[in-house]
Structure 1
Amino acid sequence: MKTVGQALTEGLRARGVDVVFGIPGVHTIELYRGLSGSGIRHVTPRHEQGAGFMADGYARVSGKPGVAFVITGPGLTNTLTAMAQAKADSVPMLVISGVNRRASLGQGLGLLHELPDQAGLVRTLCPSFQVTSPEVLDRCLNMAFAAMLGARPGPVHIEVPTDVMGMEAVAAAAPMAVCIAQPEAASVAAAAALLNRAKRVVILAGGGARHAGAAVTALAKALDAPVVQTTNGRGLVSGPLSVAASPSLDAVRALIAAADQVLAIGTEFGPTDYDMYVRGGLPDMAGMIRVDLCPLQLARHPAAVTLRADAGAACAVLLAQVTARVSDGAERAAATMAAARAEVADLGPDMPNQIAMLEALRDAVPEAIVVGDSTQPVYAGNLLYDHDRAGGYFNAATGFGALGFAPGAAVGAALAAEARVFCLIGDGGLQFSPAELRVAVDEGLDITYLVWNNAGYGEIASAMRAANTEVIGCTPSPLGLEAFAAACGMPYSCIAPHPVALAAAVIVSGPRLVEIRDY
C-alpha cells in the first residue's frame, strides 16, 4: 500500500523538488517513508528555523521553491520567522507539516504539539492548505505551487493530519502547469511608445528580476539606460550601465529625478531599499512604467503604464518593440556611482573600508555567492556594492530583517549552485543560529563563514548613540570563535578588518570559519 505521506513526496518529486530540509518527528514519519528511494536529498538542520532559512537560500539561488518538512506545533512555529522573511523578499517556500488527527483539532485535548488553530495561525502570514483526505492531496499540491509561482512568490503551508498521512493514497494525476500572467499587448505597446519617446531612461530592478538578468541587460543596452539595482537585485547587470547603489542615496535619487522615463521591474519600493534613513524626498515617479507579477503591488504606487508579467517575459516583449539607441547611459551611470562613493565616504571611514572588503572578496573569488546577515559590512554593501553574479548577493538586512538568517541560507545556496559561498555574519547574529554551521560540515559544502566580530551589536549601539540614548543591551559577549570552529569541525583563522587580509584569507575553500576582528 502507498500511503498519503509517500504520495505527497512523489508529488513533490514530480514537480521538480530535489532537496528537502527538515527535522523528522513522530508526526512526520510517513513523509520520511516516502523520501526513501525518491531521489530527493534530505538535509537535516539543527533547528526548524534553520530549515526555513535553508529553503529560502536554496530558492533564491535555484529559482525553484525551497521545501521544508517540520513537525506540528513547535516545529511549525519555529519556522514562522523564516516564512516571514521569505514573504517580505518574495521567495517561494513550501513548508509541509503534520497536524494532529482531524477529530482532535480545536478541541484542546492536550495532545502532543497541539495548537488551538495551527492553520489559522499560518494564514495570518500566507496560504495554508490541509490534506483532509487522500482525494485532495493533488489539489493541495497544485494550489500550493500555483500560489508560490503563479503570482508574487512567497511561502505556502500544507498540513497533513496524522490520521490522514498513513491512509492509502489514490492514484495521482499529472501535476497541473502553473499559469503565469503574460503582458497584455496594449500595455506593452503603450510602454514601448513611452520608452521610444524618452531620451534619458532609468531602470529600477529589484528582487523580482533576480532570475532575469540576461533579459534586463539586453533591454538596458537597447535603451542605453542605467540600471539601479536594489539589494535583492544586485548582480543583475554588470558593466558600464550598472548602478549598484541604494536609491536611499542622494546621488541615485538625482539620477532618477533627471530621467524622462523610469522603468521599474520587480521592485516593491520598500523603505529599506528606497528610504533607509527615513527622510522622505524620493523623486516623483508617477509617470513610470511598472512591471510586476503581483496585481496588489501594481496598485500600491501610481504609474503611467503597468505590466502584470514575469520580469524576463516583459523585458523580452519590450525589447522587440523599442528602438535601440546610443546616448549617455554609461556616463550617467558612472557619474552616479562616483557621486554615491563620495556620499558614502562622507559617512565616515568605516563604511568605505567595509565596501572595499566586499570588493576584495569579489575580486579574489569571482562569481561567488555572498549570503549576508544583519551586520555592519552588509549594511555598507547594501548602500553601495557591485556584485558580479546575478542573484549572487542577498541578505536579510532589508524587509523583515531576521537575525540569524545567513548560516542556514548559505547552506541552501550551496546546495543550489556549484559555486563558492560566503556567509557574512556578525558575532551577535551568529549566536542566533550557530549550530547550522555544523550542517555545512555534515554535507561537505564549500562555505566560508566570515564572522564580523565587534563584540556586540555594533550597529544598534551606533543608532542608540545617534538618538542620544544610553547604550543598553548591546554588548553580549561573543563566542570564543577559535574554540567554536573547532567544535564545529572547521578550520579557523583570524584577520584584521582590511581588504588585503580578507582577500588572502578566502583563497582556501570551506567549510571553514574566518573571524574578522574589529575590536
Structure 2
Amino acid sequence: MTVTSTTTETSCAELLVRLLRDTYGVDTLFGIPGVHTIELYRGLEGSGLRHVTPRHEQGAGFMADGYARSTGQPGVCFIITGPGMTNIATAMGQALADSIPMLVISSVSRLDTLGMGQGRLHELPSQQQLMAGVARFSHTLLDASTLPEVLARAFALFRGARPGPVHIEIPIDLLAARVKVPTPSAPPVLYRPAPDPQGLATAAAWLKEAQRPLLLLGGGCIDAPEAARELVERLDAPTVTTINAKGLLGRDHPLDLGANAALPAVRALARDADVILAVGTELGETDYDVVFDDGFQLDGKLIRIDIDPEQLVRNQRLALGLVADAGRSLELLLELVPEPLSRNGAERTQTTRQALALPEDAAFAPFVPLFNTLREAVPDAILVGDSTATVYAGNHLVSQPATRRFFNASTGYGTLGYGLPAALGAALARPELPVVALVGDGGIMFTLSELATAVEEKLPVVILLWHNHGYEEIRRYMDNHGVSRVGVDIQPPDFQQLANGFGCRACRVTDPAELAQALADRPTDGPQLIEVDAAAWHRNIIAR
C-alpha cells in the first residue's frame, strides 16, 4: 500500500507523509535512510514528495535551514535514532538561535525499551531530553493516533509564534502501527497576535514627537517589506537593518544603514537618538556588537515589538514593550502615522555613511570589488554564507534587492560548515534564482561531502571559496591577544582535484576580472567551485 491509498486505515509512517504533503504543503524532505527509518520510506513511495539525500545529517539540517530561510516555509528532515540526532543537533542549534522553522522527525527505540539502557542499537539514555535543548519543543509519540495533533502543534508554532526547530520522535514499533486516516482537512488559519491598541498609540505618539528617531529592524520583519519601507519613510528615520533583515528596504535605500550597528559612527547615532523603535530583533551581539565590547548603547526611549515576551526585556533597557507580530505591528503603526514627517533622516543617514567610509576601510576594501562583481554578474542571487572572511565583510557591505536573499552562520550560534549545504537548500527551494555559497577553506571541510549532493541533484550553485590557508579569523584573535598560533595554520587539500573528483567543475581566480569570467561561464546543470586565492586577490587589489 502506498501513501495514495484511499482506505480508511494506514500505517503511522504513511499517515505522517500524507499529512505533511496534503495538510501542510510540504514538498521536499531531507534525510539519510537508516534501519530504524525504513518504514518512513515506505510511506514516501508514490507520495510525489522530493527526497534529497545529504551525505551527513548535519548537512540535512543545514539544507532544511537554507530551504526555510529562502522561502519562509519549514524545512523538514527524516533522521535516524541516536547518531543521526546528535549529528543534526548543531544545525538545530543554529536554527534555534535564528528563529528558523525546521521540523525534525526521528525514530527512537521501541516503546518497551525506552529508557531501559539495554544497549540497543543507536540507544541514548533520553534522546528526547537531549534534543529538547536545541528545539522549541521535543515530543515522543506514545500513541500513533495522536500524530495529527502533534503535527498540528508543530505547525501552529511555526505559523503563530516565534519559530524554531521542532523535534518529533516516533518509536520504531509505532512507525508501522495501524491508524485510522482522519477526514482530510485544511490546517487551521492562525493569526499572529496584534499589538495592544493603547500601547501602540503611545509608541506612535513618541515616534511622532521624536526629534532624532532611530529604527532597528530585524529578521522578524522580513515578510512585511512594504510596511517596513513605508513606515521608515513616513518617520524619516535612519534605520539599522540586521544581517537577517537585509533587503527589507530594498537595495541602497537612502535611510538604510545596513547591519553596521557595531561600528563607531552608527553607535554614535544610536546614543544620540531620543526615541528608538526596535522591531523583530534580539538586539544581540552578533548583530549589534560584533566587536564584542558591549559598546552598543541606547540612551533614548526604547520601544520594542516582538512576538516573544521574554525577548522584550533582554539586552537593552526597555521603555515600552509590545508583544505582537512584527509585520502586523508595522502595518498598524502606519495607520497612526498617516502623514510623512520630516526629521532630516536622509541627511543624518548620509552623514553617518560618510563617517563609516566602508569602501575605504582597510578591513573591507579588498572585498568591495568582489561584491561589486557578484552584484553585476548575478544581481538577483541569494548569497548564503559560512563563518568566513567574505561573509564578515559582506555583512557590512552587501545591499540586497529583497529579503531572504542574504543569510549566513555568523549570526547567533555561529557554526562552521553551514554555507554549502544551506546554499543547496536555497537552490532546491528557489530554482528560479542563482545561489552563491560564500565559504572558506577551513569551514568548507566540515561539510565538503555535500558537493556530492549538489552534483547528484544537478544544482547550479556557485561555491565561492575564499582560500586563506587556515582559520584566519582565529589567527587574528590569537595575534591580538598575544597567543601563539596553534592549530590554525592547517594543511589545505587541493580543492580543484577534490571538486573534480565529485564531478564538480572548478577553477581558480585571483582578481575581479577572472571572477567575472568564471561567473559568466558557470554551468546551468550543476555546481561550480570558484577558488579565490586570498593572498593573490589582496595583492592584485592593492596594485589597482
Residue identity in the other structure for 1:73: G
SS in 1 for 2:139: strand
Q: Distance in 2 between matches of 1:303 and 1:501?
A: 50
Partner of 1:169: 179
1:402 maps to 2:415: yes
SS in 1 for 2:180: coil
Q: Assess, with a 3 A threshold, how the Cα gap between structure 1 residues 62 and 285 changes in structure 2: closer, same or farther.
A: farther
> CA shift at 1:309, angstroms?
1.9
Partner of 2:541: none
> CA shift at 1:378, angstroms?
0.9
Partner of 1:19: 28
Q: Distance in 1 between matches of 2:429 and 2:128?
A: 30
Q: Distance in 1 between matches of 2:220 and 2:140?
A: 29
Equivalent residue runs for 1:171-320 within 5 Å: 171-172=181-182, 174=185, 175-238=187-250, 239-285=253-299, 287-300=301-314, 301-320=316-335
1:330 maps to 2:346: yes
Q: Distance in 2 between matches of 1:411 and 1:226?
A: 35
> CA shift at 1:77, angstroms?
0.8
SS in 1 for 2:520: coil
Partner of 2:426: 413
Render the CA deviation track for 1:426-465: whole Å, top value 9, x for unaligned: 0011110001122122112221000001111111111111
> CA shift at 1:2, angstroms?
1.2
TM-score (norm 2): 0.91
Partner of 2:110: 101
1:362 to 375, 399, 424: 375
State, as a whole percentage, how many aligned pairs show the same letter: 46
2:72 to 53, 63, 75: 63
Partner of 2:519: 506
Partner of 2:46: 37
SS in 2 for 1:204: strand
Render the CA deviation track for 1:328-385: whole Å, top value 9, x for unaligned: 222222222222225x745x3x532114312321232112100000111111122333
> CA shift at 1:472, angstroms?
0.7
Render the CA deviation track for 1:263-305: whole Å, top value 9, x for unaligned: 1111101112111212223222561221111111013243222
2:398 to 367, 381, 385: 385
Q: Distance in 2 between matches of 1:286 and 1:244?
A: 21
Alpha-carbon contact 1:262-1:287 (below 8 Å) kept: yes
Q: Assess, with a 3 A threshold, how the Cα gap between structure 1 residues 505 and 329 changes in structure 2: closer, same or farther.
A: farther
> CA shift at 1:214, angstroms?
2.1
1:135 to 133, 145, 149: 145
Q: Distance in 1 between matches of 2:381 and 2:299?
A: 34
Q: Distance in 1 between matches of 2:354 and 2:372?
A: 15
- Mean CA deviation greater in 143-152 or 261-270: 143-152
Q: CA RMSD in A?
A: 1.7
Partner of 2:15: 7
Alpha-carbon contact 2:261-2:287 (below 8 Å) kept: yes
Equivalences, count: 515
> CA shift at 1:179, angstroms?
4.7
Residue identity in the other structure for 2:55: R
Q: Distance in 1 between matches of 2:35 and 2:534?
A: 45
SS in 1 for 2:514: helix
Q: Distance in 1 between matches of 2:397 and 2:356?
A: 8
Q: Distance in 1 between matches of 2:226 and 2:451?
A: 33
1:72 to 81, 85, 91: 81
SS in 2 for 1:494: strand
SS in 1 for 2:469: coil
Partner of 1:50: 59
Alpha-carbon contact 1:355-1:377 (below 8 Å) kept: no
SS in 2 for 1:431: helix
Q: Distance in 1 between matches of 2:325 and 2:502?
A: 42
Residue identity in the other structure for 2:350: A
Runs of 4+ in 1 over 4 A off after TM superposition: none
- Mean CA deviation greater in 319-328 or 77-86: 319-328
Alpha-carbon contact 1:340-1:384 (below 8 Å) kept: no
Q: Assess, with a 3 A threshold, how the Cα gap between structure 1 residues 353 and 192 changes in structure 2: closer, same or farther.
A: same
Q: Distance in 1 between matches of 2:197 and 2:514?
A: 54
Point out where structure 1 has 5 or more consecutive residues left out of the alignment. none
Alpha-carbon contact 1:450-1:513 (below 8 Å) kept: yes
Alpha-carbon contact 1:245-1:385 (below 8 Å) kept: no
SS in 1 for 2:446: coil
Q: Distance in 1 between matches of 2:427 and 2:364?
A: 28
Render the CA deviation track for 1:231-276: whole Å, top value 9, x for unaligned: 1111211321221142110111122223222111111011121112
Q: Distance in 1 between matches of 2:127 and 2:13?
A: 19
SS in 1 for 2:104: strand
Q: Distance in 2 between matches of 1:355 and 1:309?
A: 38
Q: Distance in 2 between matches of 1:466 and 1:392?
A: 33
Residue identity in the other structure for 1:187: G
Point out where structure 2 has 5 or more consecutive residues left out of the alignment. 1-8, 536-544
SS in 2 for 1:2: strand
Render the CA deviation track for 1:9-59: whole Å, top value 9, x for unaligned: 111111121111111112112221222222321111110000000000011
Q: Assess, with a 3 A threshold, how the Cα gap between structure 1 residues 22 and 286 changes in structure 2: closer, same or farther.
A: farther
Partner of 2:158: 148
Render the CA deviation track for 1:468-510: whole Å, top value 9, x for unaligned: 11101112211211111111212111111x3443333222334
Alpha-carbon contact 1:19-1:43 (below 8 Å) kept: yes
Alpha-carbon contact 1:368-1:389 (below 8 Å) kept: no
1:86 maps to 2:90: no
Q: Distance in 2 between matches of 1:172 and 1:129?
A: 21
SS in 2 for 1:289: strand
Alpha-carbon contact 1:217-1:236 (below 8 Å) kept: yes
